[in-house]
Amino acid sequence: MKTLMALLITIFSCQIAYSAPIGERFHEETKHTWIQILRDIITPKPAMPPRFKEYPNLPKIRLPDPKFKGISVEEALEKRRSVREYSKKPLTLSEVSQLLWAAQGVTGRIHGILLRTAPSAGALYPFEIYIFANNVKTLTRGIYHYSVRDHSIVLIKEGDFRDRLLRVSLEQEMVRDAPVVFVLSAIFDRMRSKYGERGFRYVYMEAGHISQNIYLQATSLGLGTVVIGAFLDDDANRLLGIDGKKEAVIAIQPVGRP
């Protein structure tokens, strides 16, 4: 057994040094082959972080129950477009509640795990949802964190962050004009604790699931949205107060009235 283990370690350590671009290397080094699967089995994985991020010293704002019943899925799919220009009309707290529920709301429970609106590999749910409330009725301007378990939000930074978010987003004006901006961050070790480095792929897949949920819910509400992938990562992470390594911003998505 020791001889076999030594042989496997030797094989794994003799990998070709790639000179390909980083994107190709990422795809190559996280792909499934039998050697990669065996390496994954014997490679230690990080511990599973807490399933829910909390801000225990900050008061929560309970959101209205997500009871909206809109158009059919088929109609939402047909009408869905990327919308980059918004009016100055505010969003209501009920609309924000419905959008947050669509992004990561709880839809059931199995074996003690809270199931959500978007699928997640292994039901590990690595994503945290933040919103920049720029123009929402009855809501103080600032950055909020969505608490999944009790469908509430926590004000983590009060103030007007539109100009800073504009710079972070490479001067894409829709983030300044939108009444609310969703920011999706991922805690990678939630996924890596089970799937190792392959888990990074699953994180990016899940970002697409969540973003599409926001798109379809916005369409049903008569709102517009667009997902943004071009932003200054380190500045975006600092704005949320996260380290960019254990937890990092993956996508930015403004929502407003066309």
Total structural domains in the chain?
A: 2
Residue 19 sits in which domain range?
1-43
Encode pLDDT of 136-195 as tens digits: 999 999 999 999 999 999 999 999 999 999 999 999 999 999 999 999 999 999 999 999
Q: List pLDDT tens digits, range 222-240.
A: 999 999 999 999 999 999 9
Residues 62 and 17 in one domain: no
Q: Does 191 lie in the same domain as 250?
A: yes
Q: Is the pLDDT of residue 6 over 60?
A: no
The mean pLDDT of 49-70, rounded to a whole number, is 95
61 shares its domain with 81: yes
Place of tokens 């809109």: 70
Q: Is 31 exposed, middle or buried (0-12, 13-18, 19+ CB in 10 A)?
A: exposed
Residues 3 and 84 in one domain: no
pLDDT over threshold 70, residue 12: no
Q: What is the DSSP letter of 234?
A: H
Query: For residue 190, what are its two tokens?
Result: 């939630």
Is residue 8 located within the same domain as residue 103? no
> What is the distance between the alpha carbons of residues 232 and 247, in angstroms, rounded to a whole number?
15
pLDDT in tens, 80-125: 999 999 999 999 999 999 999 999 999 999 999 999 999 999 999 9
Reported in sequence order, the residue ranges of 24-66 that DSSP labels E, i.e. its strands, are 60-62
Phi, psi of 83 (to 5 degrees): -115, 125
pLDDT confidence tier of residue 35, bands split at 50, 70 and 90: confident
Q: Do 8 and 102 reside in the same domain of the chain? A: no
Residue 228 φ/ψ, nearest 5 degrees: -115, 125
Q: Are residues 39 and 123 in the same domain?
A: no
Contacts for 211 with CB less than 8 Å, ≥ 6 apart: 184, 227, 251, 253
Give the CATH number of the domain where residue 104 resides: 3.40.109.10
Residues 22 and 146 in one domain: no
| Structure confidence at residue 86 (pLDDT) | 98
Same domain, 26 and 90: no
pLDDT at 41: 85
CB 103, CB 210: distance < 8 Å: yes
Q: Are residues 169 and 247 in the same domain?
A: yes
Q: What is the pLDDT of residue 196?
A: 94
Residues 207 and 186 in one domain: yes
Q: The pTM is what?
A: 0.90
pLDDT given for residue 36 in this prediction = 85
Does residue 94 share a domain with residue 145?
A: yes
